Amino acid sequence: GQSLEQPSEVTAVEGAIVQINCTYQTSGFYGLSWYQQHDGGAPTFLSYNALDGLEETGRFSSFLSRSDSYGYLLLQELQMKDSASYFCAVTPGNMLTFGGGTRLMVKP
Partner 1 sequence: DTAVSQTPKYLVTQMGNDKSIKCEQNLGHDTMYWYKQDSKKFLKIMFSYNNKELIINETVPNRFSPKSPDKAHLNLHINSLELGDSAVYFCASSQSRGIYEQYFGPGTRLTVT
Contact 89, 29 (CB under 8 A): no
Instruction: Kindly state whether residue 53 participates in binding partner 1, applying the rule CB under 8 A.
Output: no
Stretch in the footprint of partner 1 (CB under 8 A) among 12-20, 52-60, 75-83, 84-92: 84-92
Comparison of 15 and 100: residue with beta carbon closer to partner 1: 100
Write out the DSSP string of 26-70: -SS-S-EEEEEE-TTS--EEEEEESSSEEEEETTEEEEEETTTTE
DSSP assigned state of 92 = S
The correct pick among 3, 14, 16, 30 for binding partner 1 (CB under 8 A) is 30
Instruction: Kindly state whether residue 100 participates in binding partner 1, applying the rule CB under 8 A.
Output: yes
Q: Taking the complex as a whole, how short is the minimal distance between the CB of residue 89 and partner 1, in angstroms?
A: 7
